[in-house]
Structure 1
Amino acid sequence: MDFEMIGKLKMPKETEKFHPYEEITYPSGWAKRKLMFNVVCGDNVHLLTVDGGCFTDGHGDVYLYSKNTVDENGNKIKGEQFTIPFKDRLTSKRLAEVAEFKKFIIDLEKPNRRYQLEKAAEKMRQGTSLTDEELKQMGLENESEVAEALEKSKKKRHEFVTEWDFAEFIKKVIDSGKYANKKFFIRGTGAYQYSDEKERVYSSYVPTRIYLQDDDAVEKSEGTIKILYNAESLDGMSVEEKGKYYVNGYMMEYNRNRKANIPIPVTIAIPVPPEDADEEAKGRLEAIKNKFIVDDDSWKEYGIVVNMLNGSQKMQITEDMLTEEQKSDLKYGLITMEDIIADKGGNVYGERIQEYQYVKSARGFTNGRSDTAYADEDMTIKPLVNEAEEAIEDIFDDDDL
């Protein structure tokens, strides 16, 4: 599960039981640093987590992966794993080799400004003068400021190879107050841990990229999910009560303890349009439902984009929300719907919703769902087996009995 958000960064309120930022050192010398911060995306608030650790004396390694390269004959050379000492994680000469997917990035430059500065510097090297409009776009008054502005811009991009440093820097940005009302684009992934003791899945949203956005950027929170589902997944029992269909399926996520994928439960909501909706809206609902109807015992896989909802959502005021006096005054033109909305504070909010709402097919799935070889038994997380015990059990084969 991958996600993209545009919103404002906020620190949650600390309580006796909840600590959004903490550093814990264990007797072994291992130190844990954990940051949990909110991203406010319009009506939705999401809690993101960055969790890192290191040995307090600085020993240990950081495991990285190198970029793909091309040899002198044009052949592609695949990147490979390598390590650097933890103490050299910010200064090692090998940092230039690190593949992008192994980096954690936060960029505090305005969108597109660094590109404009680089192009301006290139034009000046070629002997071309910059126009007043070009300088204005970059927030500069004359060409002599370009070189210094470009150097400062490059310093606003911060790359890390450990969550330990990434967490610390994000907190500094939020605590500084300089970006309190600024919007950021955040990209990241869902992280899932399974407790064998409690037989429960714990999930979190982990950011890997954070970029400053324009003030007028449209706030959003979208996820991309590959859901596995079967004939029993589509649930229409809640249509009358909640006005939604639900698809109960699974995502396959890697589990470190088992060194294999495990099924993670996930539910997708499909809102039902009101009874007086036009035929196009009703047809859209049927088209979405058909994607999740399975008429055999197979498991299907379908990639979808979802709206990540977590909060009270703005609602459109309908007639059933009005008092009899409001209905009468509205009918005879004594008030307008705008008057009613203003009287309610400008917006009307419904109940708090926490769900993934279907939006569209994900990239790679515009042709529809895919068949899989999964069976019902693959959707159960099997108990973790001790390898030593397993070896003892397998000492004898069937011929020995």
Structure 2
Amino acid sequence: MIYTTGTIAISGNALTGTGTNFTAAGSLIRNGCTVIALTSPAQVFQITAIGGAASLTVTPAASPAIPAGTKYSILLSDSLSVDGLAQDIAETFTMYQRYMSGFADVMNGTTDVTITINGVVVTVPGQKSLAKKGANNDITSLSGLTTALSIDQGGTGAKTAADARTKLGLGSSATLNAGSSLNEVVTVGTFGLGFSANITGVLDYWDRTAFLSTTAATDSFPGNGQGTVISVVHRNNTTYASRWIGSADGRAFFQLKSNNALSAAFEICLIGKSVTVDSNGFVKKASPVINIWADGRFETNEESEGCNVTRNGVGEYLIEGCHGLNADAAWGGIDGGFEIPTDRNKQPLIWLDYEVNADGSVLVKTYHRTNPDAPAFARNQQEGIKEGDPVDIPADQFISVRVGMPSDSIWNKQQEEAMETMNQSAQDNTEQ
């Protein structure tokens, strides 16, 4: 067997190859091999050291020097002698030992490993540095990733922080820190905001900026004491003024406390069940109110639920389920719980009378009403109907009647149950 790949040049004891690979795996090139330079006449050398794929040390020194490009042969097996066979086996074992050592480094390496295969230097990542199948914590690096992982894959679908926030649907606050300075996100408790409490008994949170809810009646809270408020405090050393804005008993209210001086609570608007819109389009304070139309149709509000209206005849409407009229000065007192329709000049279109029966029902009677002192177009005169004749409520209009409600009405029972629940809650909190 001979090796003839490439060409050589020899200067003294140094042999330099061109296109050679003296360290190729399995080549069997080793110390002691014979090198024949094919010059004229031919020169013979023996390898004393292998310096690399293109470098050998030979003996004796070349004389004269052998020029580059000279063809050559290396005798890999001088004969079938026992010595030659032993050398071939030893070289083969050495090659495999070198390969196995390199593979072991690759399998156990946690960083890149450099090995030589067939004389070629190769750098590969150690197996322990690679991701394995299994839990995500096996992944040690994704440095070679060029495409962003989608959200479904556990990524953000983006390559920049700004794009990632957009992909994840995060707003501008995602880049802000929590705190109390400019351009910081306010958290619960900052400036006292976010404090909340269910208060029973005396309201003792006037000196806090907070959102509050009450569960029991107090002297400083309107209505039955159940509702929510926002307390805003302004301090100047030891002096403070607290403003409460909230809702209770169906009303929105405002209240002020300066140190220990407490103002009366007053409504800042009328909302919900505390108002009604009369037949003339005006908002009026209300509680149990019933609206009645010409044909006997009627409408109750929350507090008058349970009442019923029957049209007995022309201009007669019987209200049952009530307990007389509601004596409220805002409606004119015990005899003034009505609102009747008017014309465009604000002149009443009907006369109204009523009777309260022994069972508390109310019979409402309506009569035609003229305005003889007004100009002809505004006198409300109808052919065949005289002043004071019984008439139904004008078409498409209604009258409002504010009634009193018995203690066993739906509304009053609900209020009693709510009060019992509230009192029980207050008792439980006190015992705790």
TM-score when normalising by structure 2: 0.18
Structure number with bigger Rg: 2
- Bigger relative contact order, structure 1 or 2 (CA pairs below 8 A, ≥6 apart): 1
Return the structure number with greater helix share: 1
TM-score when normalising by structure 1: 0.19
